[in-house]
Structure 1
Amino acid sequence: MAARGVVVIGAGQGGLDTAAALRAKGYEGPVTLVGEEPVLPYQRPPLSKGYLTGAVGHPELTLRPESFFGDQDITLVTGDRALRIEPDRGRVVLASGGFLTYDRLVLATGARPRTLPVPGADLSGVLTLRTLADADKLRGLIEGPPRQVAVIGAGFVGLEFAATARGLGHDVTVIEAQSRVLSRALTPQMSRWLARQHEDRGVRLLLSGELAALRGSAGRVEVVELRDGTRLPADLVVMGVGVLPRTELAAEAGLLVGDGVVVDRLLRTDDRSIHAIGDCARFPSPHEGRHIRLESVQNASDQARCVAAAICDGPAPYSAVPWFWSEQYTLRLQMAGLTAGHDETVSVGDPDGARFSVLAFLRGRLIGVESVGRPADHGIARRLLATGAGPSPDEARSPGFDLKSLAARAASSGPGRARAAEREKLPAHT
């Protein structure tokens, strides 16, 4: 039995960053990080891109070398699962039979891929992409001769995998139940532009298409069948229809859950000794004015640092501006803020040259910016959204407007602010 301290369940980006941030802030008590997978903590974004092509290997995926955990006096438990939480005793029972006691517990349990309850979903050749083991299976299948690939779902993972598979020479069809790609994440303008990039590269997009069944023989998938009767040959099907937060441990422990583990603005559950972060947490966003759940590296890392600061320095509300990115083909899409619910958009730049941004407004207020090929716009947008500043739609439409010029004009009211905004770049891909 470990001495009491901080136990972190989940060894993904958020879990690892929590443990690292605790030590960076001088926390001296025991820190234990528990991960189900039998490997060192690794980054997930490359799994749908560089890892599948072989451009990124296992060493590059690993977030920290094994020596880091010894050097930082962090106990790393891999290949074991938290079976249950006993809040009244302040302990976590492990599937291996052991248990860990805690003063503070951090749930960084992440999410699991959704699947569709259709006939044939259990056929061989039907896969999801979330873990390193998933990626290893897919990598073995797409390294060979050309395949007929069907991707179910035009979300980030689905489109990133589609781009990777197409780049390797496979025949790719993406089937999306909504009327446009990334409909919940992007403005219609950016969604349409991105769809064209896929179609121009030979990907077939079937929008408003609803999966009915997967058919095959000898236990292997061969056909995708849609509800309108369309039948598509496919010897590899990748389900990219979103994820579900892993809340089972929290629910069984009596914590409040609802599309995630519900936390307050300090990322605490209704048991004040237990925090939740990352993909599994539903938190009050000061930018949205409601509880939301975000699935991103940025959110997991920022919340990890927030929780570590709360444990070491005292409580501080979580208020980071959401930002995201996605790499498809040679394109890098960057997003700052959340554009869902906008009522007006303005585009600046050159969409034909893949160097433009879409500014989204709600009742005249800037709420999000989507950028391709304009990294400075992304950095400036994050700064503007953090301060509640930003142009009006009319100003954004004025001849010659761009976010750089706005930042430059702001320099007189905040010395150096605009120059810093222009210099700000997206951190290295992780």
Structure 2
Amino acid sequence: MTNTCIVIGASHAAAQLVTSLRQEGWQGDIKVIGDEPYLPYHRPPLSKDFLSGNKQADELLIRKAPIYEKNDIHFKLNQRVESIDRAHKTVTLSNGEVLVYDKLALCTGSRVRTVSLPGVELKGIHYLRNVQDIEAIQQHLVPGKKAVIVGGGYIGLETAASLKKQGMDVTVLEMAPRVLARVTAPELSEFYTRIHSEEGVNIKTGIAVSAFEGNQQVEKVVCADGSSFAADLVVIGVGIVPNVELAEAAGLQVNNGIVVDEYARTNDPDIVAAGDVTNHPNAIYNIRLRLESVPNATDQAKSAAASLCGKEKLYSSLPWFWSDQFDLKLQIAGLSQGYDQVILRGDKDKGRSFAAFYLKEGKLISADCVNRPQEFMFSKRLITEGKDVNVQQLADETVAMKDLL
């Protein structure tokens, strides 16, 4: 008898998990069920290279089909899993097919958070999460036309930068008092507001959208304060929601994500989970958290694959992220929540390069590095090693980052 591992979700985590499964020695069948028509693909370029037309869909693939074929990994695409029966170890697909598993991996990722405002069903209003979303947005890309972005987080700002570079008239509407308010310090928000303004993006903060108006096609975005903005295209980017419903219905433990341990194991010994959808422990910060990042999906999937093979590979990586806007590469090391001091290296008020270091009780816990690869690389080491840092040296650009180690 051959053991079968079924992976639900053709995501970043799934692409790594199935590869790692073979590397860890899994000899049985591997089946991946995905609800899109594509093999697992890179999502970060969607709002950048793919939206701008610099890359085609097949260039986004994490691995090409022959690699999966060589490793005897089989995909069922354009299919959804409707339910998991843990007692009989089966999954039922949307076409009625029932598949039997010995081990199960949940890599279901997340979906966009939607809004239920009047007029949201009008043509020209889009979310940004997958290839089909981008292809729909591209139909409205006309230089000189007006685009309104609802949400001033990373996705909103990345989309604004891409649309502006293609000649559109772009406005960003953010409900919070500043852009990126949920994820970073005021200093970085001020920097990105300045850069976008210099590039010609109109940023409005402290403003809530109340409705969309138009005759079949969106024409106007109306705000709660009575103001309105003409729009030929609206892109809504107000966060994502983890896809936990399958796990919850199957009786797995769920709490802001599928609850797993440091080896990506759920409360069912035959089921693991990896990626955006998991709530997992982080030893560096001594907390449980859910992370929306590619590095998290990739590293955790390696631990999940080992667990499926009866091994233990600890997942305890430092969270890190990145964002590309215009000619700026922001690299983020660690989590800044709970910081009590921000140290700047470089001038945020002019130029396009600086770093913001977040400290808590004298220790570096996070860093936002704009066009500063050295600061990013050494910050990762300083955070993971938990060393006290000299604040004056941290701010002094004449002191090499390696000297802080």
Is the TM-score greater than 0.5?
yes
CA deviations over 1:123-143 (Å, ceiling 9, x no partner): 11110000111011112221x
RMSD over aligned Cα, in angstroms? Answer: 1.6
Q: Which residue of 2 aligns with 1:126?
A: 125
Paired residue secondary structure (1:42): coil
Alignment of 1:174-323 (within 5 A): 174-217=172-215, 219-312=216-309, 314-323=311-320
**Residues 187 and 340, structure 1, Cα contact 8 Å, conserved in 2:** no
Q: Which residue of 2 aligns with 1:161?
A: 159
Distance across 2 between alignment mates of 1:241 and 1:387: 35
Deviation at 1:100, TM superposition (A): 2.1
Distance across 1 between alignment mates of 2:285 and 2:193: 27
Relative distance call for 1:393 and 1:100 in structure 2 (3 A) is: farther
Relative distance call for 1:330 and 1:398 in structure 2 (3 A) is: closer
User: Which letter maps to 2:205?
Assistant: L
Moved beyond 4 Å, runs of 4+: none
CA deviations over 1:236-269 (Å, ceiling 9, x no partner): 1100000000111011101121221112222222
Q: Which residue of 2 aligns with 1:139?
A: 138
User: Which letter maps to 1:47?
Assistant: L
Deviation at 1:296, TM superposition (A): 0.8
Distance across 1 between alignment mates of 2:282 and 2:62: 28
Q: Which residue of 1 aligns with 2:66?
A: 67
Higher normalized helix content (fraction of residues): 1
Q: Which residue of 2 aligns with 1:326?
A: 323
Deviation at 1:56, TM superposition (A): 1.1
Q: Choose 95-104 or 157-166, whichever is displaced more.
A: 95-104
Distance across 1 between alignment mates of 2:357 and 2:310: 37
Deviation at 1:395, TM superposition (A): 4.5
Distance across 2 between alignment mates of 1:3 and 1:139: 46
Aligned counterpart for 1:403 among listed residues 391, 401, 404: 401
Paired residue secondary structure (2:225): coil
Q: Choose 327-336 or 279-288, whichever is displaced more.
A: 279-288
Relative distance call for 1:299 and 1:390 in structure 2 (3 A) is: farther
Deviation at 1:378, TM superposition (A): 1.1
Distance across 2 between alignment mates of 1:330 and 1:89: 53
Instruction: State whether structure 2 residue 384 is matched by structure 1 residue 386.
Output: yes
Long gaps (5+) in structure 2: none
Distance across 1 between alignment mates of 2:64 and 2:341: 47
Distance across 2 between alignment mates of 1:277 and 1:399: 39
**Residues 156 and 182, structure 1, Cα contact 8 Å, conserved in 2:** yes
Deviation at 1:99, TM superposition (A): 2.2
**Residues 3 and 102, structure 1, Cα contact 8 Å, conserved in 2:** no
Q: Which residue of 2 aligns with 1:58?
A: 57
Q: Which residue of 2 aligns with 1:341?
A: 338
Q: Which residue of 2 aligns with 1:103?
A: 102
Long gaps (5+) in structure 1: 408-430
Q: Provide the aligned length of Structure 1 versus Structure 2.
A: 404
Under a length normalisation based on structure 2, what TM-score does the superposition of the two structures give? 0.96
User: Which letter maps to 1:167?
Assistant: K
Distance across 2 between alignment mates of 1:45 and 1:138: 16
Paired residue secondary structure (1:221): coil
Paired residue secondary structure (1:124): coil
Deviation at 1:184, TM superposition (A): 1.7
Instruction: State whether structure 2 residue 389 is matched by structure 1 residue 372.
Output: no
User: Which letter maps to 2:94?
Assistant: A
Distance across 2 between alignment mates of 1:316 and 1:163: 39
Alignment of 1:348-363 (within 5 A): 348-351=345-348, 352-363=350-361
**Residues 270 and 308, structure 2, Cα contact 8 Å, conserved in 1:** no
